[in-house]
Structure 1
């Protein structure tokens, strides 16, 4: 009979057990805290996005809304959209408006943030309250108010121009021509976006060390040189985030353009990409083409954000 070799169980190290439990706690706790946000994102963003992508590959119109089966058409919707001259016209118009609005918003927001660093406590509070009121006003409400300001018969702008120039501006329509229409739209969009840029840039400016600025001033650096070589590098990441967000928001602007068109704009000559998607999807009932345009817009936004994401990854690795 062969002798059985008995191996005694190896006792676990009492010091490693707490470490394993602590490691599991470090992994599980962040996931538990993130779970509600991830669930909300999946339900309210992820699932509609998946539905939109699937719809963009289908012939999806009014019959499908009422239960008719949707036919899979492959890339036909994308081909129809990309070969449509109106789509490229609307996209170019949207990009031009976006560039104008983002440039004005970033410049004016940064100037206001710099001004707030020089103001006393009382005046800074007054400016902050004014910015908050502008920021808190819904886009649709702001557009209606600005529509009254530029009203053809009783608008404040026409009255002021009449008083300043001596020429009767009563009856002049600011929304009937595309150029003046988008000028008014750019003013409204910029006015509503400046507070976010100003507050965020001001928060970044408060993190610039005063000692470094004072040392540069003692060395003979002027205000512009201090801003360019010291302040800008410190808040570069903040400005980059603001720039990306403003491009995304202004590229897909909808409420202001749609409201101005309702007030008096010529819809065919003033559509931007957001309104164009709505028109294609709802007015014509072609939800498949609308989904294809939406997916193309999402891809464009991802490409715009790619530079910032790549820069963040490089900073994390360094």
Structure 2
């Protein structure tokens, strides 16, 4: 059996040039259509970010608002922030509060999503409308209602507890103690976050093939086993999305904490990162220090978002 040998290329042969990518109007058209949106995004997001970085390396106080030049201090604001015990106390408090809110929100949202799958069309519509109303309500308007519910003198909660227990709860403040303050804040935040989690998980659960669940049921799997072994793996990516988004939203919460502090909370013992940055900047006038805290906070948020981005890219590559 004969074999043929291909002739070797001469040693002085010129390398084959790579095909050059020709820029055609068809390739430029998508970028031209995106250019206005990208320009607006750069202006709205880019300028505040650059301004925040500039302020964080300058000693920018209230006097600079009158035209006094801000002295450059380098990383002094960052060093002062990272060596401040109150910053670490506020950060730890914010993370603990975030973890509790996320855990309760995901658990309650999962239960509501499973409930939506079992309800009939009429009750499902009623529950969906109720959750949409809660989700669509502006946080400030919602806080006015919740503030009235937990009001010290005329609150519904105190009135109901007085009627049920026979003790006099009228005049009891739910916001003086940090523990009860954050319990009320967590209730308000979870109440507003459950609709998004429930609707998102419900949409994922409805995409699970019915034959898979029926096969698991015929094999003797209980409802809990079907949920843990079939439903959760099918919507694992959705769980990653809602958990990461809930972590970001609950970590940067501001309106609920700020309003509750105005109603009766002790600011020094109940501030979270968002409120703490506002206090340092707007209340005390330390804009440079507040910007340094905001930069550190942004890095934390980017670190949390990085996991979500990696998980999304990994799922798209599979």
TM-score, normalising length: structure 2: 0.89
Matches within 5 A, 1:214-253: 214-253=214-253
Alignment of 1:112 with 2:112, yes or no, is: yes
Q: Distance in 2 between matches of 1:206 and 1:32?
A: 39
Q: Which runs of 5+ in 2 are unaligned?
A: 1-21
Alignment of 1:88 with 2:97, yes or no, is: no
Pairwise CA RMSD:
1.7
Q: Distance in 1 between matches of 2:131 and 2:36?
A: 32
**Closer, same or farther in 2 for the Cα pair 1:42/1:132, shift >3 Å?**
same
Q: Distance in 2 between matches of 1:220 and 1:141?
A: 49
Cα offset, 1:29, TM superposition: 4.2
SS of structure 2 residue aligned to 1:151: coil
Q: Which moved more, 1:169-178 or 1:225-234?
A: 225-234
Q: Distance in 2 between matches of 1:238 and 1:33?
A: 31
Alignment of 1:161 with 2:161, yes or no, is: yes
**Closer, same or farther in 2 for the Cα pair 1:37/1:242, shift >3 Å?**
farther
Cα offset, 1:71, TM superposition: 1.8
Cα offset, 1:160, TM superposition: 1.2
Matches within 5 A, 1:152-231: 152-231=152-231
Q: Which runs of 4+ in 1 moved over 4 A?
A: none
SS of structure 2 residue aligned to 1:207: coil
Q: Which runs of 5+ in 1 are unaligned?
A: 1-19
**Closer, same or farther in 2 for the Cα pair 1:118/1:90, shift >3 Å?**
same
Match of 1:123 in 2: 123
Cα offset, 1:206, TM superposition: 1.5
Q: Which moved more, 1:95-104 or 1:218-227?
A: 218-227
TM-score, normalising length: structure 1: 0.89
Q: Distance in 1 between matches of 2:37 and 2:202?
A: 28
Cα offset, 1:39, TM superposition: 2.4
Match of 2:264 in 1: 264
Size of the aligned set, in residue pairs, is 298
Q: Distance in 2 between matches of 1:192 and 1:224?
A: 27
Alignment of 1:139 with 2:139, yes or no, is: yes
Alignment of 1:301 with 2:317, yes or no, is: no
